[in-house]
Amino acid sequence: MDSDPRFKPHEVLAPHYSAPEDKQPFLRRVFDESAPHYERIASWGFFGTGNWYRRWALQRAGLKPGMAVVDVAAGTGITARAAAAIVGAPGLITCIEPSLGMLRESERQLPEAQHLQAGADALPLPDAGCDFLSMGFALRHVENLETAFREFRRVLKPGGRLLIMDITKPDGRVANAVVKFYFRDFMPRFTRLITGSREATYLMEYYWETLDHMVDPTRVLEALAAAGLDEPRRHVEAGIFSEYTARRP
């Protein structure tokens, strides 16, 4: 099936990369380079929401002990570790992540989980194998929202649920100005200060660009429905933490 161009998460972001086919290799490179610093950025930046927010969101989305979980875009495994604490056994978690640098960090932190190198748009997993699918803070990186969501639907068991966490721009001029200052001006400088890494600083500069250019949340909900998922919903915490949930029929 051809992917619907309406469901691209954002347009090509030059000068970071200049052709659509360059996006995934570009992302793999920047995440590989930033992998050693990612945990520190996630726990100090992002308003200090590390593990606890992910765990809380997963619980509210219906994750329960004993469920088999696929965590897409696992990164260094922060969401996967929060999920493991809820399900009660790290062996129930499968981490999917395209950057080898990030994947190795996650393997080190959660060795009992299964780790597979892949992107969200083509999951190397069987049909209907998991009870719950999570994706933390990576929605803008997929190639096409509908294509990825069709994959999410395929790997979920009937009745299985998903949670996609993402940062979105808030409503209101003042709140928007605060978020712009935080992500565009403060976070890259702060990242430089705590990591000393030019690559990690660059990742945060790019992060702001994606936040600024990401499609509207209503488009994400449309893509969930277009992929054949039931009950697409968005819940927002603190004006910027968007939680998209849906269920495989």
Binding site for ligand SAM (CB under 6 A): 24, 27, 31, 42, 72-75, 78-79, 97-99, 102, 119-120, 136-138, 141-142
Any residues with CB less than 8 A from the CB of 171 and at least 6 apart, and which? 239
Q: Which is nearer to ligand SAM, 74 or 84 (CB)?
A: 74
Q: Which is nearer to ligand SAM, 41 or 229 (CB)?
A: 41
- Backbone region of residue 165 per phi and psi (left: phi > 0; alpha: psi in -120 to 50; beta: other values): beta
The residue nearest ligand SAM at its CB is 75
- Shortest CB 5 distance to ligand SAM, Å: 17
Q: Which is nearer to ligand SAM, 92 or 106 (CB)?
A: 106
- Shortest CB 100 distance to ligand SAM, Å: 9
Any residues with CB less than 8 A from the CB of 166 and at least 6 apart, and which? 137, 138, 139, 140, 220, 241, 242, 244
Tell me if 7 sits within 8 A of 223, measured CB to CB: yes
- Shortest CB 9 distance to ligand SAM, Å: 10
Q: Which is nearer to ligand SAM, 197 or 230 (CB)?
A: 197
- Shortest CB 172 distance to ligand SAM, Å: 25
- Shortest CB 119 distance to ligand SAM, Å: 3
Q: Which is nearer to ligand SAM, 131 or 147 (CB)?
A: 147
Backbone angles phi, psi at 80, to 5 degrees: -60, -40
Alpha carbon distances (Å) from 30 to 101, 143, 155, 198, 210: 10, 16, 28, 11, 14
Q: Which of 246, 249, 44 is nearest to 139 (CA)?
A: 246
